[in-house]
Amino acid sequence: AQTVTQSQPEMSVQEAETVTLSCTYDTSENNYYLFWYKQPPSRQMILVIRQEAYKQQNATENRFSVNFQKAAKSFSLKISDSQLGDTAMYFCAFMRGFGNEKLTFGTGTRLTIIP
Amino acid sequence: DVKVTQSSRYLVKRTGEKVFLECVQDMDHENMFWYRQDPGLGLRLIYFSYDVKMKEKGDIPEGYSVSREKKERFSLILESASTNQTSMYLCASSPRGTGLGNTIYFGEGSWLTVV
């Protein structure tokens, strides 16, 4: 079974600063996908970024980027130039490959951006 | 835009009542999921369905059942609600065979309180 660990229950950072959220996972699979989801106070879960395990290049989406270390089973999210709208719960999630679309989530990190 | 609609945002039920949580998606997705979200525990998969009338247990199916009579609708049933089922329930859907998390869509969630 897969497990996903987020060791930072809460974080806060000043607006415009950079923040990194940590995530580690455990799996025996070689083909899988990793995701960061954002859940703002409105509760609608939104995909932030995804990474295919077979790709060595780290994924980037505008101000969001990941540091994917496959050997260490680590998948951290970096948010640059943080904005007030980034305030949310952030969940790291794992999905096995081969068309199995079930997601296994971590426990989440509550991020607060301070004006 | 894809829409996953959970008919009830907030419910209060009494212990022992039978509870139905309804979820409807409008994109002809094969896969549908029910997750439960609790503070400090993240999201945990209750049940999922890969097709009409098909269902599989997730990680925490005890005390729950599901029904999928039509492709667009996936219902979560609490046969006899208990206070430890007080939680946020999230429905999600995705097309089959993509293996990519950016095609998993979440509803806004249903807050259930059992008193």
In chain A, what residues touch B88 (CB-CB under 8 Å)? 43
Whether B3 contacts chain A with CB within 8 A: no
Question: What DSSP string describes A54-100?
Answer: T--SPPEETTEEEEEETTTTEEEEEE-S--GGG-EEEEEEEEESTT-
Instruction: Write out chain B in H/E/C secondary structure.
Output: CCCEEECCCEEEECCCCCEEEEEEECCCCCEEEEEEEECCCEEEEEEEECCCCCCEECCCCCCCEEEEEECCEEEEEECCCCHHHCEEEEEEEECCCCCCHHHCEECCCEEEEEC
Tell me the pLDDT band of B53, cut-offs 50, 70 and 90. Answer: confident
Tokens 């999600």, residue? B92
pLDDT for B1 beyond 80: no
Q: Are B99 and A100 in contact (CB under 8 A)?
A: yes
Please write the tens of the pLDDT for every residue from A16-72: 999 999 999 999 888 889 999 999 987 789 899 999 898 889 999 999 999 999 999
Q: Kindly determine whether residue B88 and residue A106, on different chains, have CB atoms separated by under 8 Å.
A: no
In chain A, what residues touch B58 (CB-CB under 8 Å)? 102
Which pLDDT does position B68 carry in this prediction?
Answer: 97
In chain A, what residues touch B42 (CB-CB under 8 Å)? 4, 6, 91, 105-108
CA distances from A21 to A8, A79, B66 (A): 7, 8, 35
**For B45, which of A97, A102, A107 is closest by C-beta distance?**
A102
Which pLDDT does position B3 carry in this prediction?
Answer: 87
Q: Average pLDDT of B1-30?
A: 92
